[in-house]
Amino acid sequence: MSNKVVVIYSGGMDSYTVLNRAIKDGKEVHALTFNYGQRHVKEIDVASAVCKRLNVPHQVIDIRAINALLAGSSLTDDIEIPEGHYEEQSMMSTVVPNRNMVLLSLAIAYAVSMKAEAVYYGAHSGDHAIYPDCRPEFVHKMNEVSLLANYEPVAIVTPYLNNSKIEILTDGLSMGLDYSETWTCYNGREKACGKCGACVERLEAFTENKATDPLSYEA
């Protein structure tokens, strides 16, 4: 049985925790990062630096050409990033149409080509309200399809599917992870904005864990 896995690694705190969880669980990790034209492209540089430090094989794939088909998201279009919590309806503007199905399909193909047993990604319960492609129903169905779609079955693994970002951070801190090696803010500026949904949820997770976020914030 192969011990090789592909981790979809954005450079954010969730996928950073997933990456390190897979390593800690003894997997042979290959990281895959997508440049899909996200305005917070800074996360890709962060991901590359982490993989270099950990000596994890890392592929950065430029799929920006598909943006001609994926209009209407504030993460990729010239639309203002909303402020507030993920559970607010305003955050729906950050949905990139069918993003995780596209990224998972590419990651599964990569896994098949390198004879990996699974694709890991960081879906969690905090995303369920806004992002349909992070909900358990989607993950379970995609896993069923992935196991059928190729001669060599590839499982989709979501270690934190039923956990909150607070609980993800708790696990990461228990592993001694340094979250200064992550980027969460949807605004790709020098400092994190502290106001977008990604920042609000991140700061909430640190507060609930009685820990200090090592990132610098504008506000």
The structural domains of the chain, with segments of one domain joined by +, span 4-208
> By CB neighbour count within 10 A (0-12 exposed, 13-18 middle, 19+ buried), where does 186 fall?
buried
pLDDT at 112 over 90: yes
185 is known to lie in a ligand binding site = yes
- pLDDT score of 158 more than 80: yes
Nearest of 144, 115, 101, 123 to residue 5 by alpha carbon:
115
Residue 26 has pLDDT above 80, yes or no: yes
Q: How far apart are CA 3 and CA 26, in angstroms?
A: 8
Quote the DSSP letter at residue 83. B
Residue of higher predicted confidence among 131 and 203 = 203
Which of these, 94, 145, 95, 98, lies nearest to 119 by C-alpha position?
145
18 assigned ligand-binding residue: yes
**Does residue 164 have a known ligand-binding role?**
no
Q: What is the pLDDT of residues 2-21, one digit of tens each?
A: 799 999 999 999 999 999 99
CATH topology of domain 4-208: Rossmann fold (3.40.50)
CA distance 82 to 112: 38
Q: Give the pLDDT confidence score for residue 197 in this predicted structure.
A: 82
Q: How far is CA 210 from CA 126, 129, 176, in A?
A: 19, 25, 15
11 annotated ligand-binding residue: yes
User: How many other CB atoms are found less than 10 A from the CB of residue 74?
Assistant: 20
15 is in an annotated binding site: yes
Overall average pLDDT of the 176-203 stretch:
90
- 172 annotated to bind ligand: no
Q: Is the pLDDT of residue 117 over 80?
A: yes
Give this prediction's pTM.
0.86
CA distance 122 to 134: 8
Does the annotation flag 199 for ligand binding? yes
What are the E-state strand segments in 63-214?
118-120, 155-157
Q: Is 134 annotated as a binding residue?
A: no
Comparing 74 with 5, the larger pLDDT belongs to: 5
- What is the helix, strand, coil percentage profile of the chain, to 5? 45, 15, 45
Has 14 been labeled as part of a binding site? yes
